Amino acid sequence: MSRLPFELFLALRYLRPKRTSVSVITLISIMGVMLGVAVLIVVIAVMSGFDREWRNKILGFNAHVEIAKRSHSDTLRDWPTILTLITNLPQVKAAAPSVVGKVLARVILPGGEKLNDIPILRGIDARLEPGVSLIPGSVIAGTNDLQGRGALLGKDLARGLQLRVGDRFSVYSPANMERLEKSAEGKKDVAILPEELEVRGIFDVGFADFNALFIVTSLETAQEFYELGAHVHGINIVLRDAFQAPAVKAQILGILGEEYRVDTWIEKYSELFSTLVLEKNMIFFLLFFIVLVAAFGITSSLITFVVQKTREVGVLKALGATRAQVVWLFLSQGIVVGVIGVSTGLGLGLLALRYRNEFLHFLNEITGRNLLNASIYKLYDLPSELTVSDIVTICLGSLVICTLAGAIPAWIAGRLKPVEALRHE
């Protein structure tokens, strides 16, 4: 004799594959639940991965808090004093000065062809920058030596300008442009020569926009390009907890006063991350309909099964089975189908996540297209992050839906009366 409750024993017995339409519908229902759970796990994990990677790359390259003058045309004259005050705050992990602005970069190839781009020049303090940015530790070719007229280029920018370590290129700074304007106004025939930089290293911070937009030089070189003297454009601050940025902003404004502008990463990138969270939630609810469709299959197969097993239900009730036992018999079938579908779906989803990038590369080769375009998605590989809470929500939610799908057929079977069930026998 089986040690299982007779309701569960009969439910498992009835679910054994047979060459009937009910078995086929049940199998399709299990596959529907499996695919729904697998797709949900993969999509939610990838969306969470994008959120994590974008946040890490953006906060690794940029500051949590930036200090500048309220007027965009003003510079920070007393930045060493401000830097000392800021670094004494307990929430501040590191801080460093910076000079940032756009320049015109030009490369003349041996054949005479000219390549132009308008990147952002970023001047950094080589001693302090490792504490606030990923750049010094992200050099993949050459060194991070910025002495003299040395420069670091993002790998995509270097590829676009066809530059390698040791090559030189021209840079037209805003100061060059102002001299050109003055000479044109004075109708003077004066040659304004561009500045020249040497590629000392090429960096890859893992984010396409930063790799394609930035030239990094020493603070002194950038100050010279922008004719700032000893001044800087701003101070970049990294906190021990990035989410404390609003509180630190209020504290800094209390120390420095209203003549300074303090920007946080939350203010600068709130729309980006809010959109990502909204997309993740919308996709989650939309994909849950796959499980709902599979649940309708469970309901359909169980209703058909109840009709086919009407005589057996009558016999069970005549032998003393209660309504609750009959209900539990058919409800167990929905639970078993749900458990099988959710379990196989979880395994399939985890397997797909394990080999997601290999599968992506395979699709790229078949289609001849780059399905993860870095210029659009900003990343070079498909990220993923699956948390325990996501797994529990998806699996438990799917199991509840499958259980509820069997509730209606079970309720119908529980209402059958022995005399009516056996009337036609």
The SS3 assignment for 340 reads: helix
Whether residue 265 is contained in a domain is answered as no
Q: Does any domain span residue 266?
A: no
Are both 252 and 288 inside the same structural domain?
no
Q: Which of the two residues, 108 and 27, has the higher pLDDT score?
A: 108
CA distance 299 to 13: 18
What is the tally of structural domains in the chain?
2
Are residues 305 and 185 located together in one domain of the fold?
no
In a domain, 149, yes or no: yes
Assigned domain for 79 exists: yes
Q: Tell me: do 230 and 311 sit in the same domain.
A: no
* pTM, entire model: 0.77
Residue 354 lies in a domain: yes
Tell me whether residue 267 is in a domain: no
* Residue 401: domain span: 6-56+272-422
Residue in 245, 226, 227, 229 with CA at minimum distance from that of residue 237: 245
Q: Hey, what are 121's tokens?
A: 């020049």
Strand partners, 24: none
Domain end: 258, 283, 312, which one?
Answer: 258
Same domain, 386 and 412: yes
pLDDT in tens, 352-396: 999 999 998 988 888 888 888 887 788 888 899 988 988 998 899
In a shared domain, residues 307 and 215: no
Angle at 416 between CA 411 and CA 419, to 5 degrees: 170
Specify the 3-state DSSP secondary structure of 245: helix
- Is there a single domain that holds both residue 75 and residue 134? yes
Last residue of a domain, one of 258, 285, 316: 258
pLDDT tens-digit map of 262-311: 999 988 888 888 887 888 888 888 877 877 877 777 777 777 766 666 66
How far apart CA 389 and CA 386 sit, in angstroms, is: 8
The dihedrals phi and psi of 179, each to the nearest 5 degrees, come to -65, -40
Reported as a single tens digit per residue, the pLDDT across 201-248 is 999 998 988 999 999 999 999 998 888 888 999 999 999 999 899 999
Give domain status of residue 169, yes or no: yes
Shared domain for 21 and 100, answered yes or no, is no
Q: Are residues 189 and 98 in the same domain?
A: yes
Contact 65, 262 (CB under 8 A): yes
Q: Give the Cβ contact number of residue 274 at 10 Å.
A: 10
Both 170 and 286 in one domain: the answer is no
Closest to 62 measured CA to CA, from 224, 209, 279: 209
> Residue 127: how many CA atoms within 13 Å on its side-chain side?
1
- Report d(CA 327, CA 403) in Å as an integer: 12
Rounded Cα–Cα distance for residues 318 and 335 (Å): 26
250 located within any domain: yes
My answer on whether 291 and 398 are in the same domain is: yes
223 with 291, same domain: the answer is no
Q: Are residues 245 and 176 in the same domain?
A: yes
pLDDT at 413 over 70: no
